[in-house]
């Protein structure tokens, strides 16, 4: 985010920040590692540690650019780069994003920035379409951009997902860029595909196993399906806990530690829970009334009707 933010500051222009996760907004009442369980003191300490680590890791990037433009270094990446005191859009569905009372007034929840049925995303390819009608609704399994690209890592991930699906006794569609090259062949119970439009295929599945990315998480929510989250990083664990709080997922697993039997157990729990399915349908119904892109445009227009704005 820092190049556009720095450019806007150097040009003397207001700017809008867009956050794809509300986990990045400090609060005395919430932290990605704890949710709302801990008290103010614990949250303050955790956010101090978080911001200290982020500044040690990231601050030199904006500072290097700012020095070239004659601007002073930033004191804090989170509050000076990630958040805009003009307008910060939390691009997350209001069904999962709880706005905290101590957030800055410039932070506004606009909703998930996606539109339904984009023509450019296409429809379900013939292979998956045939698989869907050939038996019970499958589980869709994807690690998205977190699926390893190297053959050894990808084969390990594919083995985890394949064994979990077979042990859970369910049909599955497994998304991976190079399954055949890794030695995995489709059969009547498991279909390996390189990609599919999530908005089109998720509604035909029973549940979705995914990594807990912001876009995938909210696409699953809008498709009215429960989740099994296998998280790689703390932000993804945060999404997994939020889904569990909503009652549309079980306890998230950690990619580093999860085994096929453990993942199969979580999957069986979700598949055997009509309450999760019903709750997922309720949440999807509420999301149908959200128009994140329209809301974001309206908020920017309202705040800067007569000014030039940079969106970082």
Same domain, 134 and 100: no
Q: Are 300 and 5 in contact (CB under 8 A)?
A: no
Same domain, 146 and 210: yes
Residue numbers of the domain that contains 126: 119-287
Report how far residue 234's alpha carbon sits from residue 31's, in angstroms, rounded to the nearest whole number. Answer: 10
Q: From first to last of its 312 residues, what are the pLDDT tens digits of the chain?
A: 999 999 999 999 999 999 999 989 999 998 888 766 678 989 999 999 999 999 999 999 999 999 999 999 999 999 999 999 999 999 999 999 988 999 999 999 999 987 665 666 778 989 999 999 999 999 999 999 999 999 999 999 999 999 999 999 999 999 999 999 999 999 999 999 999 999 899 999 999 999 999 999 999 999 999 999 999 998 899 999 999 999 999 999 999 999 999 999 999 999 999 999 999 999 999 998 889 999 999 999 999 887 666 666
Same domain, 64 and 91: yes
Same domain, 31 and 142: no
pLDDT of residue 30: 86
Same domain, 198 and 296: no
Same domain, 17 and 70: yes
Same domain, 53 and 139: no
Same domain, 102 and 181: no
- Model pTM score: 0.89
Count of domains forming the chain: 2
CATH number for position 204: 3.40.50.2000
pLDDT of residue 34: 77
Same domain, 282 and 295: no
Same domain, 82 and 191: no
Residue 117 CA, chain-centre distance (Å), reads 19
pLDDT of residue 308: 65
For the four alpha carbons of 154, 157, 159 and 162, in that order, the dihedral sign comes to negative
pLDDT of residue 39: 85
Sheet-wide strand order for 172-175: 190-193, 172-175, 139-142, 207-210, 227-231, 253-254
Same domain, 164 and 86: no
Same domain, 90 and 22: yes
């Amino acid at each position: 985010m820092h190049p556009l933010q720095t450019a806007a500051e150097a040009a003397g222009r207001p700017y809008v920040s867009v956050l794809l996760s509300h986990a990045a907004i400090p609060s005395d009442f919430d932290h990605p590692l704890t949710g709302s369980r801990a008290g103010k003191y614990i949250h303050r300490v955790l956010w101090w540690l978080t911001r200290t680590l982020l500044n040690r890791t990231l601050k030199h990037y904006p500072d290097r650019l700012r020095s070239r433009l004659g601007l002073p270094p930033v004191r804090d990446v989170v509050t000076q780069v990630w958040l805009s005191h003009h307008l910060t859009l939390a691009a997350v569905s209001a069904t999962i994003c709880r706005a905290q009372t101590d957030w800055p007034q410039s932070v506004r929840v606009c909703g998930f920035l996606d539109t339904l049925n984009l023509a450019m995303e296409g429809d379900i390819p013939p292979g998956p379409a045939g698989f869907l009608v050939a038996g019970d609704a499958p589980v869709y399994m994807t690690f998205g951009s977190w699926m390893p690209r190297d053959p050894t890592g990808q084969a390990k991930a594919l083995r985890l997902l394949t064994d979990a699906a077979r042990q859970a006794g369910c049909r599955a569609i497994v998304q991976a860029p190079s399954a055949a090259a890794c030695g995995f062949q489709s059969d009547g119970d498991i279909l390996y595909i390189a990609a599919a439009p999530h908005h089109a295929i998720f509604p035909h599945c029973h549940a979705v196993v995914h990594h807990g990315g912001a876009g995938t998480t909210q696409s699953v929510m809008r498709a009215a399906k429960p989740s099994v989250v296998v998280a790689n990083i703390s932000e993804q664990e945060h999404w997994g806990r939020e889904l569990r709080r909503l009652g549309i997922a079980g306890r998230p697993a950690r990619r580093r530690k999860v085994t096929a039997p453990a993942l199969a157990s979580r999957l069986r729990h979700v598949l055997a829970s009509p309450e999760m399915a019903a709750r997922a349908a309720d949440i999807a119904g509420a999301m149908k009334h959200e128009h994140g892109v329209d809301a974001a445009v309206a908020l920017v227009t309202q705040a800067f009707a007569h000014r030039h704005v940079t969106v970082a």
